[in-house]
Amino acid sequence: RVSSDGKPPKFQPPPKPVIIDRKTQKEERRFLSPEFIPPRGRTAPLKYYIERKDMIQRRKVLNIPEFYVGHVLAVTTADPFASDKSKRFVGICIQRGGKGLGATFVLRNVIEEQGVEICYELYSPRIQAIEVLKLEKRLDENLTYLRDALPEYSTFDVNMRPVPRMAHEEIPVNKLQVRMKPKPWSKRWERPKYNIKGIKFELPEHKMKAAQKWSQPWLEFDMLREYDTSKIEAKIRKELSEELEK
């Protein structure tokens, strides 16, 4: 190559290689169970630290898998009144509530045309095994509207085989729009406070517009409601990874 001056071109060092650290990126995306994050309040942090120690102890004995609302789980509990002394229930996880040791999750299934919901405590000693049968997230974090949906959306085969997970990467989001039974419903799901995206509303236009009257557009700008958990989460993740490796 000949430059405009007639002198040899200036030495351009090769570009530095950009190192993408896949391991740290993977850790950032790893799942932290929501009951580990302490709620906002005036309780001393020591209480949450001690609760977390107990939770980690229990997790070392019983493997609690990563699951979200919308997964289909099978839970085996100890029951003194059953013939086998153990009971297995399969259902879709509707909601996850509670913090700390009292964390719960509700499983829903329709058995012989009767809807059944059972609320299990994650850290109860009666639970013998939790298996994830089907991994899929839904559009909402709270699937309580399945109570007012057609029963076909809540029925799951009790003897379902676990669906194998493809790669250890993202969990698929099922963009299913559920059809509802005729009104009245247990809650007015069309109202914006529930912010439900997973229902196919077959209501007339004027009713959907009337429901928007109850919208509170100022809520997302309310600064007092902000609860930034990124630093707390990072600390807890570090603590968890250290303790579980022991």
Partner 1 sequence: MMPIWTKSGEKRAVTLLKVQDCHVLRYVSKEESGGKTAKLLVGGKNVSPFSKPESAHEIFKEAGVPRKQKVTTFNVTDDAIIKPGTPLYAAHFRPGQFVDVTAKTIGKGFQGVMKRWGFKGQPASHGQTKTHRRPGAISTNKAAKVYRGKKMPGKMGNIYRTSFGLKVWRINTKHDIIYVNGSVPGHTNCLVKVRDSKLPTYKDCNKNPPFPTFFADGDEELPEDLFDEEIFQFTDPSVTFA
Given the rule CB under 8 A, which residues bind partner 1? 41-44, 46-47, 50-51, 54, 57-58, 61-62, 78-80, 85-86, 100-102, 121, 123-128
Instruction: Name which of 58 and 88 has its Cβ closer to partner 1.
Output: 58
Nearest approach in angstroms of CB 54 to partner 1 is 5
Nearest approach in angstroms of CB 75 to partner 1 is 12
Q: Which two tokens stand for residue 241?
A: 């990874």
CA atoms within 13 A on the CB side of 128: 9
User: Sign (positive/negative) of CA torsion 5, 8, 10, 12?
Assistant: positive
Instruction: Name which of 54 and 66 has its Cβ closer to partner 1.
Output: 54
Cβ atoms 75, 127 nearer than 8 A: yes
Instruction: Name which of 64 and 110 has its Cβ closer to partner 1.
Output: 64
Nearest approach in angstroms of CB 167 to partner 1 is 31
Nearest approach in angstroms of CB 158 to partner 1 is 22
Instruction: Name which of 33 and 155 has its Cβ closer to partner 1.
Output: 33
Nearest approach in angstroms of CB 37 to partner 1 is 16
Cβ atoms 123, 103 nearer than 8 A: yes
Number of Cβ within 10 Å of residue 124's Cβ equals 15
Instruction: Name which of 32 and 101 has its Cβ closer to partner 1.
Output: 101
What CA–CA distance (Å, rounded) separates 140 from 68? Answer: 10
What CA–CA distance (Å, rounded) separates 20 from 231? Answer: 23
